[in-house]
Structure 1
């Protein structure tokens, strides 16, 4: 009897844990739907899960804005615009801590209580409830008609100037002429900062009297901008700003175009190109890419910019992105230490603050990201210019290893949020990746002896990764993150991403099993508290999915990629991948979106540059797909298409460069191929 009760109790515990884990991993039904307009729409008229809060970030070269919106249980909309002017550095306030100087952007938060007023027949038209919301590089709210007048608000940034626009469209949906009166709004606030007098301006620009015919509409702007020292150079022009935004979106639509049978992945890939590419700002360093998220602007980091986004832009062929990446690498190169100390991990606030108090393994990040970028650019001149940074980073890693050969660092890119020991897997694996691309760059520059040295170091580092970090955790043959580590960690995915397969099965089981939740991979799995663990950083999930695909486990990776993509694109916080939770509350940091695209390019297709005109490709298809097209890839600056289709148990691979077929054969899935592109004209 006692034994029976013990067994029953154990079954109850197991059942409860299973239910808790199931609740933790099963996605909720989508909020949003994909349209045929390169957008997603949320139908509020059918929504039962209210109230609901959301936010989305948008940016141009001189402005960023996080739009917070809430829809209550009565479908009433409220909006707050956090408008950030990154280049206008402010003075710290007397009641703020000193560290605030690193986030000292001129910014204003404006609610929708300050707005234009529209009058019709002695009534003020209040656009409160909404029927739907649409996102497609701009954010649009479709209000429920009032007095047969529908108001549609569309928010977008100027891509060049220091303002964002909220365009109001009034649409007459009746059969009679509507005589309207509009009262414009205006707000000015000034303060003194490091560059002089900053003035925030909010104002609308509508006709005061208007006769609106049936079926017609009238549009006018509300501007949220800033001027410096009462400058007159800013031309607030919502039509020009809208066209600039549309031109930018057109570039994102036409470069690096993914077509698969899966609309969710296609759309999130397109959206990811938008977010990865819009967060580029004018700075004293030239154009630079920055993370965003309300905290990180007009600055560069060794992980986000050097490692994540920089190597992506050569494939996208977005010249602004390539310039920003190059400027980042050059700025780090200018700041190589004269002694044996670690390189700075970031240059914040317009490059004014060098962050060099912590070695996060940044030399390894730089070696990997800069060498990949230089090789993928297909440009001998660029490679020669960046070689001092790449070679210094590789030497720094080689000279800072422990007795077992693992690369030493004080932390990793999580900067002490969680223990990393004195030598962690991330730093050593990124160094391995830097050596891989460094070998190819050295060979391209006819540095044969150095390439031979790097090859020996690459082989040794592969052994270190397998022998020093190799471990059995939770019954799985995978990696310990550092010597004393006893729990599964998210960054065990990195060896897969570098193509190291010796502990492939156990590592994939850990990533897609023990560590996996509906929000992707957890930072850490502790068996005794697994149902309570909630901390995740999307960057690790994105690397994990890339790595799983890269080593040939396409179907396992695709299943998780599909559910994760639906969560991020159509779920409760959209439409981009995020930074982290609970930290920063899942902000849409930019470089993570570049990592999403790299799941396809480097994961599913296995693309790697081998030289300035040769690629390695290891393509595969999920079993539910019959084709994949990745078109207008800027491979070494040449327009290239990669077309995959199913051919019974094989794949048909066609590669087209500058409209000429250079490869067209039937291959086995996951076959590694080297393809030489024709010489540039």
Structure 2
């Protein structure tokens, strides 16, 4: 169902209920006419009591012959006490929903020989795109899950889903992403106060429970990646002060070993993260690289570009010297200094293309200590899993070129989520939240393919590097109607012979790139 605040602040959800006679005899259906009204507790409402209306249409008596179907719409809508109840046409609203889903399905279309991956990817677009609400402060993408609405987070929105929207080309999604960064920009300050973890109450307040979670690195990473992929110079110029401020905040948080300190991480002290954690420094590293690309396109000068690239190079060295460790027998990373238990977030350097300890890290991730039928455990020896780290890990394993291992575990995960007992989307966590389908995780699923399997890395407002990873058992894969970098284009990858593949990029009916390369080779593309 489409869940969105309408601009009148009426909450409206419409569903189509369909009954099909699968038997061999006629069935009599009696469809009730329902219109019930619930008045909420005024002490729990921002503006007092609200009325919630449940309504059905097309009631009556129907004889359903074998093989025939009958459907009727039902809606739930909510109003402030001062608002007039509107007449809702369930058929019209359902058709609007179908048109919107068709728009999502017709852009960023994944074509692979694996139907489960294609379908899971398609479903992930729906969940990532539908969770946007019109608020007093403009469109805000929210995690949802019956708890998180009309609010944004530095991780869920800025880091996870905002950089994904330009690829889908959903204008309301791009508007929500830009708006989220505008809201975070309001918290730029000269006192060295951190970015808030969450901006809440339709943008009117902010919230945090674990101090600085490395939110500046999250926002810098997401804003820079979004600006590049969006391909709009005007938007990039608007976001530049936010990116610059967040990077400087992180720089000032470096300890004497050159890694970024923070009070906690995105798990907000659910698990220990030490004085400095691997995730925050890795996000800062990638944000520096993206800022360098962006500065170059925006004409910020060679001094700025050189500064960010040198800081990124130094941060890569510092990450290795500070976090590199043998943990439970694996040559990988300690998530924080003194950490001696495997953690799922050791995957994060892989996502950023840091492959020095890829072999040991991948062995650790897919070992029985961390991998389960539900993906990665947050910490070895527990029963807790958060899908976000699994989704990052799968992307990272593709990024560093371990294609076959990545495929094996991507298919296992996708079958569980699409066809298992809690379907059809990526989930948040368990046992916390009982596997709610939070929206931004579906954006992370999509990025396994855009950034991992296809290896798209923005390098400018109208350019990217491409490192396609074609699995051995596939002869072909493609993305149709990619909307990023201010363009509309297709990428087709086909096997020529053995490890030799052909890359073809088509734009406006013309082939703008046609090249044979070895699988895993990086090429630069201008759109």
Please classify the TM superposition score into its range, dividing by the shorter chain length. over 0.9
Q: 1:604-637: per-residue Cα shift (whole Å, max 9, x none)?
A: 1110111112110011211111100111001312
Specify the alignment match of 2:125 in structure 1: 273
| Alpha-carbon distance, 1:197 to partner | 3.8
SS at match of 2:481: strand
Specify the alignment match of 1:485 in structure 2: 339
* Equivalent-residue separation in structure 1 for 2:391 and 2:377 (angstroms): 12
Specify the alignment match of 2:105 in structure 1: 253
Q: 2:271 aligns with which of 404, 418, 422?
A: 418
Specify the alignment match of 2:356 in structure 1: 502
Contact 1:227 1:234 in 2 (8 A): no
Q: 1:466 aligns with which of 320, 341, 345?
A: 320
| Alpha-carbon distance, 1:232 to partner | 3.0
* Equivalent-residue separation in structure 2 for 1:344 and 1:87 (angstroms): 28
Compared with structure 1, are the counterparts of its residues 299 and 673 closer, same or farther at alpha carbon in structure 2 (3 Å cutoff)?
Answer: same
Q: 1:150-188: per-residue Cα shift (whole Å, max 9, x none)?
A: xxxxxxxxxxx6232343446678999988765423321
Specify the alignment match of 1:451 in structure 2: 305
From the CA coordinates, give the structure whose radius of gyration is larger.
1
TM-score by length of 2: 0.94
Q: 1:372 aligns with which of 215, 225, 231?
A: 225
Q: 1:658 aligns with which of 501, 508, 512?
A: 508
* Equivalent-residue separation in structure 2 for 1:173 and 1:564 (angstroms): 32
Compared with structure 1, are the counterparts of its residues 255 and 461 closer, same or farther at alpha carbon in structure 2 (3 Å cutoff)?
Answer: same
Task: Give ranges in structure 2 of 5+ residues lacking alignment.
Answer: none
Compared with structure 1, are the counterparts of its residues 179 and 451 closer, same or farther at alpha carbon in structure 2 (3 Å cutoff)?
Answer: closer
Compared with structure 1, are the counterparts of its residues 552 and 216 closer, same or farther at alpha carbon in structure 2 (3 Å cutoff)?
Answer: closer
| Alpha-carbon distance, 1:586 to partner | 0.6
* Equivalent-residue separation in structure 2 for 1:672 and 1:589 (angstroms): 33
SS at match of 1:236: coil
SS at match of 1:201: strand
Compared with structure 1, are the counterparts of its residues 459 and 297 closer, same or farther at alpha carbon in structure 2 (3 Å cutoff)?
Answer: same
- In the TM superposition, 1:610-621 aligns within 5 A as 610-621=459-470
| Alpha-carbon distance, 1:213 to partner | 8.2
Compared with structure 1, are the counterparts of its residues 555 and 233 closer, same or farther at alpha carbon in structure 2 (3 Å cutoff)?
Answer: same
Specify the alignment match of 1:535 in structure 2: 384
Contact 1:337 1:343 in 2 (8 A): no
Q: 1:670 aligns with which of 502, 520, 523?
A: 520
| Alpha-carbon distance, 1:243 to partner | 0.6
* Equivalent-residue separation in structure 1 for 2:351 and 2:67 (angstroms): 55
Specify the alignment match of 1:517 in structure 2: 372
Contact 2:15 2:94 in 1 (8 A): no
Specify the alignment match of 2:13 in structure 1: 164
Q: 2:414 aligns with which of 565, 568, 578?
A: 565
| Alpha-carbon distance, 1:221 to partner | 2.9
* Equivalent-residue separation in structure 2 for 1:553 and 1:306 (angstroms): 28
* Equivalent-residue separation in structure 1 for 2:149 and 2:8 (angstroms): 8
Q: 1:624 aligns with which of 450, 455, 473?
A: 473
Contact 2:5 2:135 in 1 (8 A): no
SS at match of 2:52: strand
Specify the alignment match of 2:286 in structure 1: 433
Q: 1:254-275: per-residue Cα shift (whole Å, max 9, x none)?
A: 0000010000000000000000
Contact 1:87 1:283 in 2 (8 A): no
| Alpha-carbon distance, 1:62 to partner | 2.1
Contact 1:606 1:619 in 2 (8 A): yes
Specify the alignment match of 2:37 in structure 1: 188
| Alpha-carbon distance, 1:240 to partner | 1.1
* Equivalent-residue separation in structure 2 for 1:175 and 1:257 (angstroms): 39
Task: Give ranges in structure 1 of 5+ residues lacking alignment.
Answer: 1-57, 64-85, 89-160
- In the TM superposition, 1:83-482 aligns within 5 A as 162-169=11-18, 182-191=31-40, 192=42, 193-208=45-60, 218-229=70-81, 231-232=83-84, 234-356=86-208, 358-447=211-300, 448-482=302-336
Specify the alignment match of 2:488 in structure 1: 639
Q: 1:593 aligns with which of 425, 438, 442?
A: 442
Specify the alignment match of 1:60 in structure 2: 3
- In the TM superposition, 1:33-52 aligns within 5 A as none
SS at match of 2:238: helix
Structure having the higher helix fraction is 2
* Equivalent-residue separation in structure 2 for 1:536 and 1:173 (angstroms): 39
| Alpha-carbon distance, 1:339 to partner | 1.0
SS at match of 2:242: helix
Contact 1:607 1:616 in 2 (8 A): yes
* Equivalent-residue separation in structure 1 for 2:66 and 2:195 (angstroms): 65
Higher relative contact order (CA 8 A, sep 6+): 2
Contact 2:459 2:465 in 1 (8 A): yes
SS at match of 1:610: strand
* Equivalent-residue separation in structure 2 for 1:477 and 1:168 (angstroms): 54
SS at match of 2:516: strand
* Equivalent-residue separation in structure 2 for 1:354 and 1:365 (angstroms): 16
SS at match of 1:524: coil
| Alpha-carbon distance, 1:244 to partner | 1.2
Contact 2:133 2:142 in 1 (8 A): yes
| Alpha-carbon distance, 1:216 to partner | 6.4
* Equivalent-residue separation in structure 2 for 1:369 and 1:324 (angstroms): 13
Contact 1:87 1:350 in 2 (8 A): no
TM-score by length of 1: 0.73
Contact 1:555 1:622 in 2 (8 A): yes
| Alpha-carbon distance, 1:224 to partner | 2.0
Compared with structure 1, are the counterparts of its residues 205 and 365 closer, same or farther at alpha carbon in structure 2 (3 Å cutoff)?
Answer: same
* Equivalent-residue separation in structure 2 for 1:87 and 1:453 (angstroms): 48
Q: What do you get for the CA RMSD once the two structures are aligned?
A: 2.2
* Equivalent-residue separation in structure 2 for 1:174 and 1:564 (angstroms): 35
* Equivalent-residue separation in structure 1 for 2:121 and 2:70 (angstroms): 34
